[in-house]
Amino acid sequence: MEEIMELIRHWVLLYCICAIIVCAIWGTVIALIAIHRGYEDQQTKWFWMGAFFGVIALAVIIGLPRRIKAAETPEPLREEPKGLSKGTWKCPCGTVNAGYISTCQCGRRKLDVLAEQRKAEWGE
Ligand SMILES: [Zn+2]
């Protein structure tokens, strides 16, 4: 009987150690995911969430929207394709004019150029 109790005690101890290790791994993984998703300031909270709730914490952190700082937004996303920023117009002479310029240096007017381009697009 004494031997059996000793064996059980050993298994309980081993089980507790394994549980603590698994919890620590979960906590670390969840904290790393939280940091990766932009929640650096909440990494301690997410460590404990991961340690206690495991898969549930993983589902919650993945479900949360990514936090992206405005400064990290890639520059090309703010511009229109072909490198033309919003409002600029390209004259047939090859000059790219800013939106506020109404007459190109070659003498063509912005309104005429845009009207011609629209016609060309419609195939007239
Ligand atoms: Zn021009």
Average pLDDT over residues 15-22: 95
**Which residues form the domain of 51?**
2-71
Tell me the sheet residues that pair with 90: 96
CA of 79 to the centre of ligand 1 (A): 22
Question: Which pTM was predicted?
Answer: 0.50
CA of 107 to the centre of ligand 1 (A): 6
- Residues 94 and 50 reside in one and the same domain: no
- Residues 11 and 66 reside in one and the same domain: yes
Average pLDDT over residues 17-44: 93
Question: Among 82, 31, 88, 76, which Cα is nearest to 54's?
Answer: 31
CA of 26 to the centre of ligand 1 (A): 63
pLDDT at 79: 47
Task: Please state, in angstroms and rounded to a whole number, the distance separating the CA atoms of residues 98 and 113.
Answer: 14
CA of 115 to the centre of ligand 1 (A): 14
- Residues 18 and 54 reside in one and the same domain: yes
CA of 97 to the centre of ligand 1 (A): 8
Task: Please state, in angstroms and rounded to a whole number, the distance separating the CA atoms of residues 37 and 23.
Answer: 21
CA of 118 to the centre of ligand 1 (A): 17
- Residues 41 and 96 reside in one and the same domain: no
pLDDT at 6: 93
Average pLDDT, the chain: 86
- pLDDT, one tens digit per residue, over 68-124 is 765 555 555 554 455 566 788 999 999 999 989 999 999 999 999 999 988 888 875
- Are the beta carbons of 84 and 90 closer than 8 angstroms? yes
CA of 108 to the centre of ligand 1 (A): 6
